[in-house]
Chain A
């Protein structure tokens, strides 16, 4: 008696689980069909609005409609890994992309630029985020450098610091440990606490290369992420650090370099010299990737995507 009861229980449990899974699949389908319905409705409206505009606009709208149609059915997952400076961008893009294509899951790990490139080379992720240009050996391994945005590196100090402007030479002296006190730079008599990033960081690589202090820096602290650097500088009087421009908030002050403020305009104009590309690297060209990844890059190149990129404080590439 007991044995057969157990078997019955097992079978009903299996049946219920199967039922649940089937239900889940159906509800996803229903959701997708519902989406296609909405897309069709929007298409109808858009078509009416566009009727009055010129041929070029009609073409673009048709393209967008076509991608909307494809997008509603788009499903799959994209995995990213890499730079912590790109965290804000990656999260914002992932969120808005997933809102547009609910069947897609985008996940991102933030392990540092070098780790991201290594992961995409090994094939364990679809996209490797890097906040520096790729090295020759990385490109030779078959990784393609897709620049999606330009970012500035801001040199930050705590808000109480009176020094607001530094020259490149002063930066070099600070980071190599020659200048140890803010009084030598016209500031208060306070020791300089030199904060930087860990060795695999794209931000560090870009900073050291652009300033010219590669392998020569004497750091008091090597922190693991952009956020950590900003946090440390904000809470330590006399600290100086470098971090991605889009992550800067009002808890720190970004100093001007050679008299040029770190703003989007100055970076675009080229007068602020600390800027570096945000790369979403892929193994092989974009056209060789799967449908979902291609859709992501299309999205990034579209107006919607560019709006997201500028929305987080970065500069779009044309």
Chain B
């Protein structure tokens, strides 16, 4: 057993310190290099035409406006379905359910859902929603598939948020004669809102980055929706998101387009990260009161 003070340890200390620094230097250079490379290669493709028009074979121009709109559609529709379900599940687990086997089963399945690879969701979504329900390649199919993927995220975050609401709030409201649902609606949900919103934003981040689950469900359509009823009809039409278009452009070696889309995606992720930080601060401030 070597003593703390022996010089042998100093050598292993040194080696470890060097390894730590090498690893860190490698990671830092790599990660910052990736960001810089993508940005430099892609910024040239990003211009007004790129962002506001749709790719035209006849004119020979490239535009991702359709893909941007599709991404927005998928985010909105997925959240419309997933948020009520996720918040509802969390409320049940935290407020109504008695701790025991049932709750553990639900929590176990939620954990498992979050570990399944997205390609399996894609397979399931394609067969169940696309072929089984007859929706084919459509934004709705993609949204339903993504709902399954972000459900654990929203449920978990809502649960965490609900747990931080002091019990005194609950007993206080019930003591004054409020019914459970009334108490949840007026006291719990507002207090837990920052946590719920964090969950939603994390879900948006996951949705934006998803590709495997959407390839066989939402399709690759890149046109803008027509006005009027077309805006609602688009939900049932095929819509390729930014990540899908990136993959397709990459496969065809249209690298300038691919890098342009990569830059846009980077900016979106940056934005989402920033908003999450702002919300986290607000959460801390709330809790400190």
**A interface, CB within 8 angstroms of B:** 20-21, 23-25, 27-28, 77, 79, 88, 91-92, 95-96, 105, 107, 109-110, 124-125, 223-225, 227-228, 230-232, 234-235, 312
Known: A91-B57, A96-B58, A230-B253. 7 other contacts (CB 8 A): A23-B228, A25-B228, A28-B227, A105-B223, A109-B220, A225-B252, A312-B57
Looking at chain A's contact residues, the main secondary structure is helix
The answer on a CB contact under 8 Å between B254 and A227 is: yes
Whether a CB of chain A sits under 8 angstroms from the CB of B251 is yes
Task: Convert B212-244 into 0s and 1s, putting 1 for each residue whose CB lies closer than 8 angstroms to a CB of A.
Answer: 000000011101001111111000011000000
The answer on a CB contact under 8 Å between A227 and B228 is: no
Chain B min CB distance to A243 (Å): 11
Among B108-149, those with CB < 8 Å from A are 131, 136-137
The answer on a CB contact under 8 Å between B57 and A88 is: yes
Looking at chain B's contact residues, the main secondary structure is loop
Nearest A residue to B253 via CB reads A231
The interface residues of chain A lying within 8 Å CB-to-CB of B252 are: 225, 227-228, 230-231
The interface residues of chain A lying within 8 Å CB-to-CB of B57 are: 88, 91-92, 95, 312
Which of A28, A109, A224 is the one whose CB lies under 8 Å from B238?
A: A109
Distance of A125 Cα from B251 Cα, bound (Å) = 24
The interface residues of chain A lying within 8 Å CB-to-CB of B229 are: 21, 24-25
Distance of A230 Cα from B58 Cα, bound (Å) = 21
Distance of A88 Cα from B55 Cα, bound (Å) = 12
The interface residues of chain A lying within 8 Å CB-to-CB of B221 are: 107, 109
Distance of A218 Cα from B237 Cα, bound (Å) = 39
Distance of A228 Cα from B247 Cα, bound (Å) = 11
Which of B223, B237, B238, B251 is the one whose CB lies under 8 Å from A227?
A: B251
The interface residues of chain B lying within 8 Å CB-to-CB of A28 are: 226-228
Whether a CB of chain A sits under 8 angstroms from the CB of B168 is no
**B interface, CB within 8 angstroms of A:** 55-58, 131, 136-137, 219-221, 223, 226-232, 237-238, 251-254
The interface residues of chain A lying within 8 Å CB-to-CB of B230 are: 24
Distance of A212 Cα from B54 Cα, bound (Å) = 41
The interface residues of chain A lying within 8 Å CB-to-CB of B238 are: 107, 109
Chain A min CB distance to B83 (Å): 19
Distance of A23 Cα from B137 Cα, bound (Å) = 29
The interface residues of chain B lying within 8 Å CB-to-CB of A110 are: 220
Chain A min CB distance to B41 (Å): 15
Distance of A91 Cα from B56 Cα, bound (Å) = 8
The interface residues of chain A lying within 8 Å CB-to-CB of B137 are: 109
The interface residues of chain B lying within 8 Å CB-to-CB of A88 are: 57
The answer on a CB contact under 8 Å between A124 and B223 is: no
Q: Tell me the total A-B contact number using a CB cutoff of 8 A.
A: 65
The interface residues of chain B lying within 8 Å CB-to-CB of A235 are: 253
Distance of A287 Cα from B237 Cα, bound (Å) = 26
The interface residues of chain B lying within 8 Å CB-to-CB of A231 are: 251-253
Chain A min CB distance to B217 (Å): 12
Distance of A96 Cα from B58 Cα, bound (Å) = 8
Distance of A231 Cα from B251 Cα, bound (Å) = 8
The interface residues of chain A lying within 8 Å CB-to-CB of B228 are: 20-21, 23-25, 27-28
The interface residues of chain B lying within 8 Å CB-to-CB of A79 are: 136
A selection of 6 A-B contacts at a CB cut-off of 8 Å is A27-B227, A107-B221, A109-B219, A227-B253, A227-B254, A228-B253
Distance of A25 Cα from B230 Cα, bound (Å) = 9
The interface residues of chain B lying within 8 Å CB-to-CB of A92 are: 57-58
Distance of A272 Cα from B55 Cα, bound (Å) = 33
The answer on a CB contact under 8 Å between A95 and B253 is: no
Distance of A79 Cα from B228 Cα, bound (Å) = 21
Chain B CB within 10 Å, residue with most, of A27, A92, A227: A227
Distance of A234 Cα from B253 Cα, bound (Å) = 9
The answer on a CB contact under 8 Å between B58 and A24 is: no
The interface residues of chain B lying within 8 Å CB-to-CB of A124 are: 131, 136
Chain B CB within 10 Å, residue with most, of A77, A92, A124, A125: A124
Chain B min CB distance to A186 (Å): 28
Chain A min CB distance to B259 (Å): 14
Distance of A24 Cα from B232 Cα, bound (Å) = 11
The interface residues of chain B lying within 8 Å CB-to-CB of A27 are: 227-228
Q: A95-B58, A109-B220, A124-B136 are in contact. Are A24 and B253 (CB under 8 A)?
A: no
Q: A109-B220, A110-B220 are in contact. Are A224 and B251 (CB under 8 A)?
A: yes
Instruction: List 5 tightest A-B contacts by C-beta distance, closest first.
Output: A24-B228, A231-B253, A227-B252, A91-B57, A92-B57
Chain B min CB distance to A153 (Å): 18
The interface residues of chain B lying within 8 Å CB-to-CB of A224 are: 251
Nearest A residue to B238 via CB reads A107
Nearest B residue to A81 via CB reads B137
The interface residues of chain B lying within 8 Å CB-to-CB of A125 are: 136
Distance of A262 Cα from B11 Cα, bound (Å) = 69
The interface residues of chain B lying within 8 Å CB-to-CB of A223 are: 251
The interface residues of chain A lying within 8 Å CB-to-CB of B223 are: 105, 107
Chain B min CB distance to A125 (Å): 8
The interface residues of chain B lying within 8 Å CB-to-CB of A25 are: 228-229
The interface residues of chain A lying within 8 Å CB-to-CB of B254 are: 227
